[in-house]
Structure formats: C-alpha cells, structure tokens
A and B are shown apart, each in its own frame.
Chain A
C-alpha cells in the first residue's frame, strides 16, 4: 500500500511540474507572441531570411534618449546611431560633414555658419532645419528644463551659454541663430579649435522642434521617437530590449548595410558572454576571469578608449604638499607590471597623462611628441623621497592612506601599489576602500589623502583632460593651484593658431608631470569580442560607437 502511495505522490508531483510548465506556455503564448507582430513586421516577413540583424547588448536601460539628458554610454551609444549632429566622426575618427554639408568659419575663429543638407530629413518626413538645433541646444542650456541637462557645461564654449545655464543670462543671449531654414549660425565665447569635434557629441544633436513642442516626452517611447540618423527606433520595451531598423529617410541611407539592430539589456558579465557563446549576441565583453584565455583570440577587437586611470595627491595633506615626495611615489610605481600582470586585458601602462590617439595639427600623435614623462625608477624615487623628507624636516613620513572605490580591479591595483611603495620606498601605506558614492563625496571635499580616479574624454582634444586641473575646477579635487598652468590652459583653449595652441598643451602636460599632482597608472582601452562575419563597427577612441557602416555576413 505504501509503495502505491509513493508512486501516486511521485506521479502527482511530476504531473504538477509538467502542468506548471505547460500552463506557462498556455498563458504566456499570446502575450509573448504579441510584440513581434506589433513591431510592424509588414516588410520584414517577406525577406526574413536575407535580413541582416545585429544583436548587441546595451547592458542596461538608456538613462534617456533625449539627446542632452542621457549623459552616459548606455544612452549615447544607441543615440549616436539614431541621430546625427552637424558633424559626425568618420572612419578615421575625425569630425566630418554630418547633417551639415559644409560650413564657414570667420577669420577670428568665433563665428561658425553651418549649411544643412537639403536632403536631411527626420524619420517622420520633416526636413531637418536650423530651428531644430536652436531648440535642442537651448533645451540643453536651460536650467529649468525637466530635468536639467547634466551635459550643459559642454556647450559653455558658445557665447552666452554659461550665463544662461547658471541663471545670470537669458535664452536670447545665447548666440545661436537660425538664419534661414537650412543655415545655422553659432558665435563662440572664444576661439575653440576643436569645436567641430565637440559637435559630434550627442549632447549637440538636433531635436525635431515641431514634434517636441507638441509632445515634450517624444523621446520616451518608440512610437513618438523621431530620428535623423542611420537608424530609427522601431520598438523599445523598457528595461528589456530595443529594436532599431534602417532609416530610409537618412541622407546617406545607401551606406547603411544593416537592416536591424537588436539591443538586449543584460547587466551580467558572465551571462552576456554565455549569450555570445550560444549565438544570442554578436558582440560581448570579456569577463575578467576569462581574460587570460580569450584576450589573444582572433575575434578580439582592442582599441584606445581615450581615458586614464590615475591617483590624486591631495596637496593640502602632509606629506604631499612636497613636490619631491609626490614625484618619489610616482617613480616608485611599476606601471608596466600593473598593466601586464594586474589589470591585464590588453591595457597600456600610462607613462604620461594624455592617452595615445590624439592627432596634432601637424599630423603627429600627442603622445608621440611629448613622450614618456613619468618613468619607473626606484633608485631616483628613493633619492627624491629622502630629499623631500629633508626639505620638510621629517624623520619619519606622516602616515599615508591610499583610498579607492570598491571594485576587484581597483583593489588589485591598490594592493600592488602598496607592495611597490613598500619595496621601493620602504614606506608602508594603509589601504582603505569605500563604496563609490561615499568615496566620491570624500574625494570632492578633499578629505582623501591619496586616492584613485579615472577620466574618460568627452571630446577629442587633450585640453578636455588637462583643463581639469586649473584652479578651482570642479574636476580638480587635489587642492592644487598654479597660475602658470592656468595660463597655459587658457591659451590651450583659445589660441587661434592650432599649432601654437597645441604647443601650450604640450607644455601644460609637462608641467603637470613635473608637479606630479596626479600619478598616472594606465590608459583605458576598449576590448570587444566580435562574432564571425561582423565587421565595420566604428569604435572611436573618444566618442560613441557607430554602426552606420557595420556589416554582418
């Protein structure tokens, strides 16, 4: 009897389990099948087989697809393919004609007159007009926009922009004008040699003002989204997926090879790699623990990412008020080893501040011209430390705390540095790690003595990074102030002769290295696994990826 009971119960359990899964199917099928038909498959069903669909991962939901509001890669990577600014980065990562066909620059370098393409249209058929840029840029600068743009400061190069954004000026004072439907004029506060490059940044994308005036949240859903780029937004299931299709209204639609792009939102390193393995994704990043195995593969793309990891010395805290002591710490760190054995993943050690990939007016690489400024030299480090200690009258060095925000990589780098300081300088530093937000607040308030930092360029010019360290800059966070450096940066921003402007930047970087306010560690890079048959994805050192020429065989 008992046996029978066991059998019965087991059978019951199996049945329930089966029923559950069967039930799922039954309940889910109609709703789950619905989206694809909703998504307008009228044209797709016929040529399903020959369609080129690229499957990418956007990690998470874009913050916002309102151009100047979503100020991060998860928003601007997709947006860069839905929209186009006046200029667009070309295959060599140089700002080339985009929505503007050409432009005139006044002799004083202040007035830019852009001529928009006659055949530039929005995905709803409206022409792209100068007023669309005026509307979008004023929205970015208006402090009363809901919510205010976190990227507004990028536009401060424009006359009247900063005053409008900080509440001192008005919208009328911002020197941007729609001269006529297809002519757009910008007057700058000072000559800015990299202005055309700055305009490739998604913050400067236009907004179809007719659509936006009628529906201010046009950018929040696929149904109301109007694009002027190579692709348009076909569907968008929030926090889940986005589908782009080729935009037939785009002026250069013939150059676009893909039919569709599907963005998943998978925020787990292992999962996205497993999806790549099973063919559900066409590109993926390499999970940290698989780096050694995968980094040398044929399907790995490695490129510059225009960014620097570094440590900040707080010059208000002993012993880092002393230049020689700062230099000693910088020279005692073996960056090559950190890059090769700690961070790995193909990164380059940073022997200076500006990453490779910035081309000067004479066609040379910034890094090539200025060379290595921070070497690894334990002998000299030791000597500098002694000299510095004598200058300050220290018998023993004040206690040093090295802080970083909690991640596995940061921890590994910090521990390695601790070792190197102990070995090369005989100094024992204490490590301290904090959650990102706590850390970030403390760093801004100059409460940390020696702390980790990072910088990713917003635009393709060395001044973007170097400007951080002028007196009282929001990004300074070291307490350092140097009149000579400030003067070099002013000239490095506004000098009309490009070659002279770059001379100032070379000088500024050398000064920064000599004063050793920050200690470089490594340059960031982009490492992506690409499936067979995927090609043509443009990944610029500075900027957001471009799928206009992407191809999938």
Chain B
C-alpha cells in the first residue's frame, strides 16, 4: 500500500509540473496585459508596473520565477488586488467555497441516493415517475436560472429568506438549494439505474430466499454494489464544487474562490491564474486518489495496491 501511495505521489508531482508548464505557455500566448484598464494611462506608468511585476523579463525567467513561487508555496501578490497575496485570496476564499460545497455535496448525496433507491424500489410506479421527473428537471434547469428564480420567489416576493451575501445561516439556504439540485438529480438517476440492475442479480434473489429483511437486502447487499458509479463521479464532483462555482458565487455574492478561476484570466492576473490552476489541479488529483482508495474499500475485488507490485 505504501509503495502504491508513493508511486501515486510521484505521478501527481509530474502531472502538476506538466499542468503548470502548459498553463504558463497558454497564459503568455494570450494577448493582453493586466494593466489594460479602460481608464487613462501613460507609457511611463505602464513601464513601471511591468517592471515591478517582472513582466518585462524574458519568458524563461518568468517561467522559473513562477516555478520557484509554486515550490516555495508563496505565490506573491495578486496584480489586481495588490494588497492581497494569492495565498491570502485562496486562504480566504477556499474555506467559504469549501463550506458551501461540503454542505451542498452532503445534501446532494443524501437526497440523491434516497431518491434513487425509492425510485428503483418502486420501479415504474408513481413514485418512480415523480422522482425521475424531478431528477430530469434538476438536470435540465441550469443552476443560475434556478438561483434567480429562488431569489425572486422566496426572497423578494415572499420575503422568507435574505437575497444574497454570506453573512448568516439563513443566507446559505438558497445557494445550497440552487447548487445541490443538479448533482442530486445526477446521483438519483445513477443510483436508480444501477440499483435496478443490481436488484435483478442472483445474489439478491438468494438473499431474499434466505428470508433476509428487505431493509438489510437494500442497504447491505444492493446499495453497496450500486454505489460504485456514484463514487466514480464523486471525485470530480467534489473537486469542482468544493473549490467554488463562479456563477452561483457571483449571483449570491458569496466571497468564495470560484470567481478567481474566471476573473483572473479575464484580467490577466498571472499570479492568480497560476495559483488557482495549481490549487485546483492538486485538489482534483488528490480527490481522484481518494476515489481510487474508496473503490478498494467498497469492492474487495479491486485491489489497488497489488497492481504492478509483483
């Protein structure tokens, strides 16, 4: 197992290095500069700024500077927010995105799996149709439309909850609802289809024949096997939701880190582009690693650490 983890770690570092290099090449190949503001400016002022941020250095020097900053984990100040370092931005934004994300994922998993199981057990019944109808709606309505709708109805028209910002538990309900609906629907559909498949397997019939309680059959024998596809999508889902979502954070004015993924590129805020890319990649790679470990636990037939060893 230790050997497997070490090997994975090494691959992770190489992957990260490739991602950093590709990001750097893409970053310098898009035209523009962080100082192209719509206001007035002047050549001297522009030159001073470029010099300060090393943008007048040859590309290989800039590349080495970025590599150094990443290795030392000090990404320096953001160009667009000179009072905050990239570490500050991520350090402030990530916990908020994480908080929103983890609750969202919990809500999505619990309600999605529940909905999926109910639908599978009541296959082709009213409840199944209702649950799957709901799931189709959840998948097809983009979350920003749902968000605007929720704000207009619940916050503005009925005045039950505040409109936006991230300042109290009441402020969290609407963004969580808006964000959780999509993943919930995907999980519900996945669970339903794999549950249906598993429920027809011989070992389930066997379990029934042995007179096990339906509860035990569903949870212990069927669900455990039906969860594999759900676990598969969990890695990417967690990584993308936990690191913040641009649209939902913008609509609800949540100070998470989602906006930096998009805005840093629009603004050519190079250190922030680097920082968010590296952070997200490392996080995603780590999540996929966790998923691989989870496979082994859920399904004893998969033995991650034996492969390649002997």
Contact = CB atoms under 8 A, between A and B. Distances in A.
Interface in B161-176: 162-169, 172-173
A459 to B, nearest CB: 10
Interface string A40-75: 000000000000000000000101111001011000
Contacts of B38: 454, 456
B163 A278 contact: yes
Interface string B82-115: 1110001000110000000001001100110011
B221 interface: no
A283 to B, nearest CB: 15
A458 B39 contact: yes
B252 A153 contact: no
B118 A437 contact: no
Contact of A32 (B88, B151, B168): B168
A278 B156 contact: yes
Contacts of B103: 20, 24
B133 interface: no
B172 to A, nearest CB: 6
Contacts of B48: 143, 148, 152, 165
A437 B266 CA distance: 7
A397 B77 CA distance: 50
B266 A474 contact: no
A539 interface: no
A362 interface: no
Given A71-B37, A147-B82, A274-B152, A437 B268 contact: yes
A156 B268 CA distance: 28
Contact of A153 (B42, B148, B166): B42
B231 to A, nearest CB: 19
Interface stretch (A235-243, A420-428, A508-516): A235-243
B142 interface: no
Interface centre among B35, B218, B255 (most CB of A within 10 A): B255
Contact of A436 (B36, B127, B155, B163): B36
B83 A150 contact: no
A153 B44 contact: yes
Interface string A236-277: 011111000000000000000000000011111011001101
A474 B46 contact: yes
Nearest to B161: A278
A435 B93 CA distance: 26
Interface string B16-49: 0000000000000011110111111111111111
A72 B111 contact: no
A28 B168 contact: yes
Nearest to B114: A13
A141 B133 CA distance: 64
Given A5-B215, A239-B92, A275-B164, A437 B33 contact: yes
Interface string A420-445: 00000000000000011110111010
A487 interface: no
A442 B255 contact: no
Given A9-B114, A268-B251, A268-B253, A238 B84 contact: yes
B175 to A, nearest CB: 11
B52 A148 contact: yes
B34 to A, nearest CB: 9
Contact of B218 (A5, A238, A266): A5
A271 B151 contact: yes
B169 A63 contact: no
Contacts of B83: 64-66, 217, 219-220
B118 A72 contact: no
A20 B103 CA distance: 7
Contact of B80 (A21, A63, A217): A63
A474 B173 contact: no
Contacts of A150: 35, 37, 41, 45, 49
Contact of A6 (B88, B118, B252): B118
Contact of B155 (A162, A165, A278): A278
A474 B41 contact: yes
A386 interface: no
A294 B31 CA distance: 39
B42 A474 contact: yes
Given A266-B253, A271-B251, A165 B173 contact: no
A343 to B, nearest CB: 17
Contacts of B282: none
Given A24-B103, A271-B253, A275-B164, A238 B121 contact: no
A438 B165 contact: no
A440 B36 CA distance: 7
Contacts of B215: 5, 8
Contacts of B163: 271, 274-275, 278, 280
B81 interface: yes
Interface in B45-86: 45-49, 51-53, 77, 79-84
B82 A441 contact: no
Given A147-B52, A152-B45, A240-B166, A271 B118 contact: no
Contacts of A440: 32, 36
Given A20-B106, A219-B83, A149 B45 contact: yes
A10 interface: yes
B229 interface: no
B255 A16 contact: no
The 4 A-B residue pairs with the shortest CB-CB distance, nearest first, are A437-B32, A153-B42, A148-B48, A239-B255
13 contacts: A6-B122, A17-B107, A28-B168, A29-B169, A147-B77, A156-B42, A162-B44, A219-B83, A240-B166, A240-B255, A268-B250, A271-B151, A274-B156
Given A64-B82, A153-B41, A458-B40, 9 more contacts: A13-B115, A32-B167, A63-B80, A147-B82, A148-B49, A149-B45, A280-B164, A437-B33, A456-B38
Interface of A: 1-2, 5-6, 8-10, 12-13, 16-17, 20-21, 24-25, 28-29, 32, 61, 63-66, 69, 71-72, 143, 146-153, 156, 162, 165-166, 217, 219-220, 237-241, 264-268, 270-271, 274-275, 277-278, 280, 435-438, 440-442, 444, 454-456, 458, 464, 468, 474-475
Interface of B: 30-33, 35-49, 51-53, 77, 79-84, 88, 92-93, 103, 106-107, 110-111, 114-115, 117-118, 121-122, 127, 148, 151-152, 155-156, 159, 162-169, 172-173, 214-215, 218, 250-253, 255, 259, 266-268
